[in-house]
């Protein structure tokens, strides 16, 4: 049973101690029976006296207590370890794995499975003691009458077989019920996240309740009832077998074999002693079955301790962070695998090196995508008159940030050769030639193709673009078999602001996750300062970027900022970002995060600016800002980051500000449509 294996994996020594103690207790119990038997038997035995009885009772109590204490500790330790490993398992699992699982499955496991397992694991101590008592009693039975013992054991095995046969079906029902739990949690998620929409629309609410929430709840109830009833049948069958055996022995075997009275008395005593532990075990079996199902579910989620792709083992965390980031993407592809849970987890490849990137997952065929123009491999231009930054880490203070103490770290010292950024300087160290006075769409891109901008709705946001022939207009070319991004070839330089634009679903956020190291490419290479990124250095790569994603999360505490004076730093940034009147910080804890979306985004920006990393990535950050602060963001904050030599990536639909980019990357259906250097002002 998976449950037992799990307990043994927590502490086999504890199990052995508890079982030994339980067995001694069981033997002592059996000895108690012999003493009782010796008193009431027609042939009294010298064994039966006060002293022996008291001593045996003490042994029974002590061993039972010892076994119970050991197993209770073991059970609680197992539950603690399970919670800890599930919590860190979630954090350690690759993002794409968690996204495939979905929040509802994670919540179901973290709540339901842990609760079920707690019950099952808590049941194990008493079951172990019961088993030991049964073994002891049956041993005594074997001594007083091998015949009765054989019949009793045969009948017990028969009832175990009956229960097991029915339990297989019951286990399957519990497994199905567990899957329904996921659906129920999904419905509860819709209730909590969609409460406004449900309150506003009665028919939607009724339909949702009937078909989703109540539907899942009913299914769950029915499955649990069926399982419970089936198990009651199994219990009844087991009891029937035991009673039939008793009848057979008392009324058939005793007379037929002329069994002596003392043997019969011994048998009756033993069965009396056996009935309690037997019943207890029967009552605990459903808990154990559910626990088994929960444990298997956890294993299937690949979040448990045995998870083979634990990201906590990823390399690069101990390396000094870079102070200037030159990021290059070459032939990068990424495909979503769909909603299916992978049969084989996407684990780190066996050895470090650039080849890792090819081994990290299946290599998707870039079906239907034209090959990239080789010119895309060219080095991008800092452009717009901004001086090329010092790649060796000279940071440029701005926005009131003190120069980081990481400044000036020589990568060579850290054991990594500093990349030769001048090897292919291209025209990037001059002000780029503009494409003319018009919008980006008015001139050709560097690959000679006309950039395809201008697909926007009345609000200026991107709209789905016209799909290539033969493809449904609402689905990207890759979406027939899951979305496909790539090939991506681009260079992001320090002191350069790159805008990533494109229609909804064109792959901008997917690209952002690749650029920030949350996803690894399935083929192609991402490099940081000339070093190819793989599992061996992904943590190092991630530490180069401060990112604010569209679905960012705000922590009330500034976790991980143990430096003194953090409150002053935060309060200064709060004032600069004009939210000091709404929120303040004390002992590294924000006074409130109950703010508007725009204000929350400013708080996220505070956190990002505190990190002072060489790469800044903003995924539609300005979308919720008032026009005035949007201006501040595009004209002041981005300009300041550029001045400080940061590599800035901005995903945006704000075409009013496209001219502020040094480089503009246009995505369409996951394909890099154009790469345009510095844009003319509008
Ligand atoms: N976790 C995921 N699993 C499967 N498919 C996904 C996942 N995330 C995104 N996709 C798909 O990938 C495509 C690109 O999504 P992405 O979020 O990168 O687009 P986007 O350009 O950022 O869109 P928007 O402008 O609307 O934010 C979409 O078609 C989406 O359905």
Residue 366: its pLDDT value, please? 32
Q: Does 620 map to a domain?
A: yes
Measure 483 CA to ligand 1 centroid, in angstroms.
8
Which pair of structure tokens corresponds to residue 189?
């998620």
Residue 231: its pLDDT value, please? 86
H helix or E strand, kind and range, residue 30: helix 12-40
Mapped onto helix, strand or coil, the DSSP state of residue 364 is coil
Least confident segment among 191-205, 453-467, 507-521, 646-660 = 453-467
Any idea which residue has 């002053």 for tokens?
A: 568
154 and 244 both lie in a single domain: yes
Protein residue whose Cα sits closest to atom 3 of ligand 1: 336
Phi, psi of 484 (to 5 degrees): -125, 130
Alpha-carbon Rg of the chain, whole angstroms? 35
54 and 141 both lie in a single domain: yes
User: What strands, in cross-sheet order, belong to the sheet with 523-528?
Assistant: 484-492, 327-335, 523-528, 531-532
332 and 282 both lie in a single domain: no
**Residue-number span of the structural domain to which 78 is assigned:** 13-301
- Check: CB of residue 558 under 8 Å from CB of residue 589: yes
**CA 289 and chain centroid, separation:** 25
Any idea which residue has 């709404």 for tokens?
A: 582
Protein residue whose Cα sits closest to atom 17 of ligand 1: 509
Q: Which atom of ligand 1 is nearest to the CA of 483?
A: 12
Q: Does 579 map to a domain?
A: no
Residue 473: its pLDDT value, please? 34
Residue 645: its pLDDT value, please? 96
Distance CA 672, CA 370 (A): 10
Q: Which atom of ligand 1 is nearest to the CA of 510?
A: 18
pLDDT winner (highest mean) among 191-195, 361-365, 420-424, 586-590: 191-195
What is the per-residue burial (b if ≥16 Cβ within 10 Å, else e) of 558-567? Answer: beeeeeeeeb
Measure 290 CA to ligand 1 centroid, in angstroms.
37
Mapped onto helix, strand or coil, the DSSP state of residue 446 is coil
Distance CA 312, CA 188 (A): 31
Protein residue whose Cα sits closest to atom 29 of ligand 1: 505
Question: How many helices (H) and strands (E) are present in the chain, helices listed first?
Answer: 19, 12
Residue 632: its pLDDT value, please? 93
Measure 496 CA to ligand 1 centroid, in angstroms.
26
Which pair of structure tokens corresponds to residue 279?
């019943």
pLDDT surpasses 50 at 284: yes
Q: Which atom of ligand 1 is nearest to the CA of 99?
A: 1
Dump the DSSP string for 365-433. Answer: --TTPPPPPGGGGSPP---TTPPPP-TTT-----TTPPPPTTTT--TTTTTSPPP-TTSS-GGGGSPPP
By C-alpha distance, which of 224, 122, 139, 126 is closest to 181? 224
Sorted by sequence, the CB contacts under 8 Å of residue 618 that are 6+ apart come out as: 547, 548, 648, 649, 650, 651, 652
Measure 673 CA to ligand 1 centroid, in angstroms.
17
Distance CA 297, CA 177 (A): 12
Measure 505 CA to ligand 1 centroid, in angstroms.
5
Residue 322: its pLDDT value, please? 87
In sequence order, what are the beta bridge partners of 200? none
Protein residue whose Cα sits closest to atom 6 of ligand 1: 336
652 vs 279 pLDDT, higher one: 652
Q: Does 580 map to a domain?
A: no
CATH (domain of 534): 3.40.50.300
Distance CA 291, CA 302 (A): 17
Residue 219: its pLDDT value, please? 92
Average pLDDT over residues 34-44: 73
Average pLDDT over residues 410-420: 34
Distance CA 61, CA 47 (A): 20
Residue 677: its pLDDT value, please? 63
Tell me the best of 457, 474, 510, 513 to mutate to test the pocket of ligand 1, counting ligand atoms within 8 Å of each CB and taking the most: 510
Sorted by sequence, the CB contacts under 8 Å of residue 279 that are 6+ apart come out as: none
Protein residue whose Cα sits closest to atom 19 of ligand 1: 505
Q: Which atom of ligand 1 is nearest to the CA of 670?
A: 14
563-582 confidence digits (pLDDT tens): 777 888 888 899 988 888 88
Protein residue whose Cα sits closest to atom 30 of ligand 1: 505
Q: Which atom of ligand 1 is nearest to the CA of 478?
A: 29
Q: Does 344 map to a domain?
A: no
pLDDT winner (highest mean) among 299-308, 565-574, 602-611: 602-611
Average pLDDT taken over every residue of the chain: 75
pLDDT surpasses 50 at 109: yes
Q: Does 67 map to a domain?
A: yes
Q: What percent of the chain has pLDDT over 90?
A: 24
402 and 287 both lie in a single domain: no
Protein residue whose Cα sits closest to atom 27 of ligand 1: 504
Distance CA 414, CA 320 (A): 7
Measure 255 CA to ligand 1 centroid, in angstroms.
80
Measure 399 CA to ligand 1 centroid, in angstroms.
33
H helix or E strand, kind and range, residue 282: helix 261-301
Q: Which residues line ligand 1 (CB under 6 A)?
A: 99, 336, 476, 479, 483, 502, 504-510
Which pair of structure tokens corresponds to residue 438?
């018009």
264 and 332 both lie in a single domain: no
By C-alpha distance, which of 5, 1, 3 is closest to 123? 3
Protein residue whose Cα sits closest to atom 9 of ligand 1: 510
pLDDT winner (highest mean) among 255-264, 316-325, 442-451, 501-510: 501-510
- Check: CB of residue 351 under 8 Å from CB of residue 345: no
Distances (CA, A) of 161 to 231, 238, 421: 13, 9, 73
Tell me the best of 508, 519, 620, 672 to mutate to test the pocket of ligand 1, counting ligand atoms within 8 Å of each CB and taking the most: 508
Mapped onto helix, strand or coil, the DSSP state of residue 462 is strand
pLDDT surpasses 70 at 259: yes
288 and 331 both lie in a single domain: no
Any idea which residue has 């002590």 for tokens?
A: 62
Q: Does 464 map to a domain?
A: yes
332 and 284 both lie in a single domain: no
- Check: CB of residue 557 under 8 Å from CB of residue 589: yes
Residue 600: its pLDDT value, please? 92
Residue 313: its pLDDT value, please? 62
Distance CA 266, CA 272 (A): 10
Residues 574, 575, 579, CA angle at the centre, nearest 5°? 60
> Which pairs with CB-CB distance under 8 Å and at least 24 residues apart come from 123-126?
123/284, 123/287, 123/288, 123/291, 124/3, 124/4, 124/7, 124/71, 124/75, 124/288, 125/18, 125/67, 125/68, 125/71, 125/72, 125/74, 125/75, 126/68, 126/280, 126/284
Distance CA 536, CA 170 (A): 45
Sorted by sequence, the CB contacts under 8 Å of residue 449 that are 6+ apart come out as: 373, 673, 674
394 vs 523 pLDDT, higher one: 523
Protein residue whose Cα sits closest to atom 11 of ligand 1: 483
Average pLDDT over residues 44-48: 58
Tell me the best of 456, 460, 483, 667 to mutate to test the pocket of ligand 1, counting ligand atoms within 8 Å of each CB and taking the most: 483
273 and 332 both lie in a single domain: no
Residue 666: its pLDDT value, please? 93
pLDDT surpasses 80 at 465: no
39 and 96 both lie in a single domain: yes
In sequence order, what are the beta bridge partners of 672? 667
430 and 528 both lie in a single domain: yes
Measure 479 CA to ligand 1 centroid, in angstroms.
10
Sorted by sequence, the CB contacts under 8 Å of residue 169 that are 6+ apart come out as: 230
Any idea which residue has 């101690």 for tokens?
A: 17
220 and 332 both lie in a single domain: no
Q: Which atom of ligand 1 is nearest to the CA of 506?
A: 21
Measure 622 CA to ligand 1 centroid, in angstroms.
19
Average pLDDT over residues 275-297: 87
Q: Which atom of ligand 1 is nearest to the CA of 502?
A: 21
Average pLDDT over residues 612-617: 96
Residue 544: its pLDDT value, please? 94
Which pair of structure tokens corresponds to residue 107?
């919540």
428 vs 23 pLDDT, higher one: 23
Distances (CA, A) of 243 to 142, 231, 246: 19, 18, 5
Residue 42: its pLDDT value, please? 66
Measure 507 CA to ligand 1 centroid, in angstroms.
6
Strands 615-619 and 545-548: parallel
155-194 confidence digits (pLDDT tens): 888 888 888 887 888 889 999 999 998 889 889 988 888 8
Residue 43: its pLDDT value, please? 65
Measure 472 CA to ligand 1 centroid, in angstroms.
17
446 vs 540 pLDDT, higher one: 540
216 and 87 both lie in a single domain: yes
- Check: CB of residue 527 under 8 Å from CB of residue 357: no
Protein residue whose Cα sits closest to atom 5 of ligand 1: 336
Mapped onto helix, strand or coil, the DSSP state of residue 306 is coil
Q: Does 6 map to a domain?
A: no
Sorted by sequence, the CB contacts under 8 Å of residue 520 that are 6+ apart come out as: 356, 357, 360, 361, 514, 526, 533, 534, 535, 538
Measure 669 CA to ligand 1 centroid, in angstroms.
10
Task: Say how many domains are in the chain.
Answer: 2
Q: Does 116 map to a domain?
A: yes
Q: Which atom of ligand 1 is nearest to the CA of 479?
A: 29
Any idea which residue has 């330089």 for tokens?
A: 493
Sorted by sequence, the CB contacts under 8 Å of residue 598 that are 6+ apart come out as: 624, 625, 626, 629
- Check: CB of residue 617 under 8 Å from CB of residue 515: yes
pLDDT winner (highest mean) among 131-135, 287-291, 405-409, 546-550: 546-550
Distance CA 275, CA 569 (A): 70
616-659 confidence digits (pLDDT tens): 999 999 998 999 999 999 999 999 999 999 999 999 999 899 99
CATH (domain of 242): 1.20.1560.10
pLDDT surpasses 70 at 532: yes
Measure 339 CA to ligand 1 centroid, in angstroms.
13
């Amino acid at each position: 049973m998976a449950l037992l294996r799990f307990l043994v994996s927590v502490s086999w020594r504890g199990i052995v101690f508890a079982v030994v103690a339980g067995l001694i207790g069981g033997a002592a119990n059996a000895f108690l029976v012999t003493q009782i038997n010796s008193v009431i038997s027609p042939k009294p035995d010298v064994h039966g006296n006060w002293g022996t009885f008291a001593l045996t009772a003490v042994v029974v109590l002590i061993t039972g207590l010892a076994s119970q204490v050991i197993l209770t500790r073991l059970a609680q330790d197992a539950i603690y370890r399970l919670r800890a490993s599930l919590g860190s398992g979630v954090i350690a699992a690759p993002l794409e794995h968690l996204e495939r699982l979905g929040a509802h499955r994670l919540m179901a496991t973290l709540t339901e499975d842990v609760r079920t397992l707690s019950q099952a694991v808590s049941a194990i101590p008493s079951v172990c003691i019961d088993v030991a008592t049964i073994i002891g009693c049956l041993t005594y039975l074997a001594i007083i009458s091998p015949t009765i013992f054989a019949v009793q054991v045969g009948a017990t095995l028969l009832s175990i077989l009956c229960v097991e046969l029915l339990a297989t079906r019951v286990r399957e029902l519990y497994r199905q019920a567990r899957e329904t739990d996921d659906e129920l949690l999904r419905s509860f998620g819709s209730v909590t996240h969609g409460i406004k929409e449900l309150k506003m629309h009665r028919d939607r609410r009724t339909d949702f309740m009937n078909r989703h929430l109540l539907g899942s709840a009913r299914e769950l109830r029915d499955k649990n009832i069926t399982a419970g009833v089936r198990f009651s049948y199994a219990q009844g069958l087991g009891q029937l077998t035991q009673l039939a055996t008793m009848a057979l022995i008392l009324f058939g075997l005793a007379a037929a074999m002329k069994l002596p009275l003392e043997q019969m008395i011994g048998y009756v005593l033993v069965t009396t002693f056996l009935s309690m532990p037997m019943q207890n075990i029967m009552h605990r079996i459903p808990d154990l079955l559910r626990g088994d199902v929960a444990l298997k579910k956890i294993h299937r989620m690949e979040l448990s301790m045995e998870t083979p792709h634990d990201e906590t083992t990823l390399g690069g965390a101990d390396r000094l962070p870079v102070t200037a980031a030159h990021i290059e993407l070459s032939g990068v592809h990424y495909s979503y695998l769909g909603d299916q849970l992978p049969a084989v987890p996407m684990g780190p490849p066996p050895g470090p090196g650039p080849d890792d990137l090819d081994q990290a997952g299946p290599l998707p065929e870039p079906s239907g995508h034209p090959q990239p123009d080789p010119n895309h491999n060219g080095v991008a231009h800092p452009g717009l008159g901004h001086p090329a930054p010092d790649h060796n880490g000279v940071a440029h203070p701005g926005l009131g940030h003190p120069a980081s103490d990481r400044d000036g770290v020589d990568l060579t010292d850290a054991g990594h050769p500093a990349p030769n950024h001048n090897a292919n300087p291209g025209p990037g160290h001059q002000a780029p030639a503009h494409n003319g006075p018009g919008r980006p769409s008015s001139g050709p891109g560097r690959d000679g193709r006309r950039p395809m901008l201008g697909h926007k709705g009345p609000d200026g946001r991107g709209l789905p673009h016209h799909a290539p022939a033969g493809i449904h207009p609402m689905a990207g070319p890759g979406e027939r078999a899951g979305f496909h991004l790539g090939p991506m070839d681009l260079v992001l330089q320090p002191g350069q602001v790159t805008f990533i634009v494109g229609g909804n679903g064109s792959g901008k956020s997917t690209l952002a996750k690749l650029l920030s190291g949350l996803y690894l490419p399935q083929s192609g290479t991402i490099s940081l300062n000339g070093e190819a990124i793989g599992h061996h250095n992904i943590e190092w790569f991630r530490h180069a970027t401060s990112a604010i994603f569209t679905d960012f999360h705000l922590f009330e505490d500034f976790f991980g900022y143990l430096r003194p004076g953090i409150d002053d730093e935060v309060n200064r940034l709060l004032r600069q970002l004009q939210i000091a009147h709404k929120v303040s910080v004390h002992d590294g804890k924000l006074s409130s995060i109950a703010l508007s979306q725009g204000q929350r985004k400013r708080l996220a920006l505070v956190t990002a600016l505190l990190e002072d990393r060489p790469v800044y990535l903003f995924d539609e950050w300005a979308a919720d800002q008032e026009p005035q602060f949007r201006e501040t963001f595009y004209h002041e904050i981005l300009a300041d980051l550029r001045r400080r030599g940061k590599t800035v990536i901005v995903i945006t639909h704000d075409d009013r500000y496209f001219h502020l980019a040094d480089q503009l990357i246009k995505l369409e259906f996951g394909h890099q449509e154009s790469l345009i250097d510095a844009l003319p002002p509008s």
